[in-house]
């Protein structure tokens, strides 16, 4: 730390993203990316002509992209926000709506705590139940912002739409942020509920089900007033927050929804295969509605399994938090990826 670093931030512990190793080719099941490339029409869009236009600034209003998203949610563009990945939106939302504090589950996406610290917001971490589920009533009438990943990460477990609505309804005076990064793999989106509740901020991403993690595109659906607040923060930070290539690719992605829906289906099938195969090997696997599974072996510790898999060229994500240290979060790739994972696990257990 330099002597110039703000004392307010001196205890900030930065978020640590999953490894992106360059030493060898891994079967990469550690950052919940899609195993499938973007749709052919998206891949073809990067023509010389498109690249030549990079000399111009991108549209700060992202009008075409917002219109396409608004169409896909049967709503108005004034109720859509877009940014450079959904992390960017979480950051803006904590800054804009977190003044009175924020409540989120003790086991959830690690960035919530980092954003709370970054903005000097007090964080209340609400323990998950013994079975790792979220208890909705723990989030009723909090009197502060509530932030829930649904499905939750790294557990993969989802709340029903009724449960989400009950939480939103009981917090009329604070924002309830529902982070739907993984909703397309079996969750229920609350986007339509934003018409009924002015305090609901529904956040999504193109990084998982839409195969665009590297292009960085996140979006939010909410009441116009909440979106206007986010726009105000955005225009006070970086008006050009979604680059022109990503805006274009985002529109094309939305025009090819059938391709992505089919890929989600393939991932759901590979998830069912991997869950069953690991359970047959003595693992406990939490019921997942996401593109990853959270699994614990009855024969090998979480970190030991992570290291042994890595040595065999399969990368998964291990978290050191005591409550979940026995588990690994395994991204669901193609069926072939999952077969390779299961073969590696069998090999490890037979040693």
Nearest to 94, CA basis, from 118, 127, 78: 118
Rounded to an integer, what distance in angstroms lies between the CA atom of residue 77 and that of residue 68?
8
Under the binding rule (CB under 6 A), the answer on residue 207 touching ligand PMP is yes
Stretch of residues binding ligand PMP (CB under 6 A), selected from 47-55, 163-171, 205-213, 242-250: 205-213
Nearer to ligand PMP, 107 or 226 (CB): 107
User: Residue 330: phi, psi to the nearest 5?
Assistant: -115, 115
Q: Report DSSP letters for 53-120, one per residue.
A: GGGSPP-TT-HHHHHHHHHHTTS-GGGEEEESSHHHHHHHHHHHH-TT-EEEESSS-THHHHHHHHTT
User: Residue 110: phi, psi to the nearest 5?
Assistant: -60, -20
Nearer to ligand PMP, 121 or 178 (CB): 178
Under the binding rule (CB under 6 A), the answer on residue 199 touching ligand PMP is no
Q: Binding string, 38-77, against ligand PMP, x = CB under 6 A?
A: ----------------------------------------
Rounded to the nearest whole angstrom, what is the least distance from the CB of residue 85 to ligand PMP in the complex? 3
Q: Kindly tell me which residue out of 149, 167, 242, 270 binds ligand PMP, with binding defined by CB under 6 A.
A: 149
Rounded to the nearest whole angstrom, what is the least distance from the CB of residue 130 to ligand PMP in the complex? 22
**How far is CA 250 from each of CA 187, 210, 219, 268, rounded to the nearest angstrom?**
22, 9, 11, 23
Rounded to an integer, what distance in angstroms lies between the CA atom of residue 21 and that of residue 25?
8
Tokens coding 213: 């993690």
Nearer to ligand PMP, 241 or 297 (CB): 241
Nearer to ligand PMP, 297 or 306 (CB): 306
Cis peptide before 75 (omega within 30 of 0): no
Nearest to 152, CA basis, from 333, 331, 292: 292
Q: Binding string, 80-119, against ligand PMP, x = CB under 6 A?
A: -----xxx---------------------x----------
Angle, CA 90 vertex, CA 209 and CA 27 arms, to 5°:
35
Q: Binding string, 220-259, against ligand PMP, x = CB under 6 A?
A: ----------------------------------------
Q: Are residues 285 and 278 in contact, defined by beta-carbon separation less than 8 angstroms?
A: yes
Q: Kindly tell me which residue out of 153, 227, 278, 330 binds ligand PMP, with binding defined by CB under 6 A.
A: 153
Rounded to the nearest whole angstrom, what is the least distance from the CB of residue 213 to ligand PMP in the complex? 6
Residues that bind ligand PMP (CB under 6 A): 85-87, 109, 149, 153, 179, 181, 205, 207, 213, 218
């Amino acid at each position: 730390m330099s002597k110039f670093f703000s004392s307010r931030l001196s205890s900030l512990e930065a978020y640590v993203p999953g490894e992106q190793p360059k030493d060898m080719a891994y079967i990469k099941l550690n950052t919940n990316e899609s195993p499938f490339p973007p749709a052919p029409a998206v891949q073809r869009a990067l023509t010389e002509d498109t690249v030549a236009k990079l000399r111009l600034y991108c549209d700060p209003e992202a009008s075409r992209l917002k219109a396409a998203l608004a169409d896909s949610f049967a709503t108005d563009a004034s109720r859509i926000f877009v940014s450079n990945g959904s992390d960017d939106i979480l950051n803006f939302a904590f800054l804009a709506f977190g003044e009175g504090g924020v409540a989120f589950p003790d086991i959830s996406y690690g960035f919530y705590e980092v954003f709370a610290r970054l903005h000097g917001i007090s964080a209340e971490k609400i323990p998950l139940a013994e079975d790792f589920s979220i208890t909705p009533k723990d989030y009723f009438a909090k009197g502060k912002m509530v932030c829930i990943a649904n499905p939750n990460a790294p557990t993969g477990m989802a709340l029903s739409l009724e449960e989400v609505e009950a939480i939103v309804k009981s917090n009329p005076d604070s924002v309830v942020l529902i982070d739907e990064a993984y909703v397309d793999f079996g969750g229920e989106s609350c986007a339509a509920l934003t018409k009924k509740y002015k305090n609901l901020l529904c956040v999504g991403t193109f990084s998982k089900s839409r195969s665009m993690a590297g292009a960085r595109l996140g979006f939010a659906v909410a009441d116009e007033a909440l979106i206007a607040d986010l726009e105000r923060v955005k225009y006070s930070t970086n008006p050009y927050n979604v680059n022109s290539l990503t805006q274009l690719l985002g529109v094309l992605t939305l025009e090819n929804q059938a391709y992505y829906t089919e890929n989600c289906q393939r991932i759901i099938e590979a998830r069912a295969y991997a869950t069953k195969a690991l359970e047959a090997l003595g693992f406990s696997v939490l019921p997942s509605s996401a593109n990853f599974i959270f699994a614990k072996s009855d024969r090998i510790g979480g970190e030991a399994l992570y290291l042994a898999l890595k040595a065999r060229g399969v990368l998964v994500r291990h978290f050191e938090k005591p409550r979940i240290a026995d588990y690994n979060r395994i991204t669901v790739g193609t069926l072939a990826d999952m077969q390779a994972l299961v073969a590696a696990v069998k090999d490890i257990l037979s040693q």
